[in-house]
Amino acid sequence: MLKRNKTLLALPEISADPKVVSEWTDTIVYPKLRAMQSELAEHPVIGNLKKALDENGKFQISRLKPLIRHTVARIAALPKTYYFDIS
């Protein structure tokens, strides 16, 4: 039996609406990526993104937040059949 996730249930259905994209980014996506920061920093491509490096050359996930939000918006704009298997 699946356990209901109250956080997910409280979110509006994902859509390209900027408020919805922000809510999904701030509640689900960004916190998950922040928790993975050390793994992402070690990734050969992600860890070396110029946009992610601070002035000291240290990987900072916070510097990628606009890119993360943009990616969530692109996914949200897709028809549901691209990310949900509804059968």
Q: What is the pLDDT of residues 9-67, one digit of tens each?
A: 899 999 999 999 999 999 999 999 999 999 999 999 999 999 999 999 999 999 999 99
Q: What is the pLDDT of residues 64-76, one digit of tens each?
A: 999 999 999 999 9
Q: Which of 54, 64, 56, 68 is nearest to 25 (CA)?
A: 68
pTM of the model: 0.81
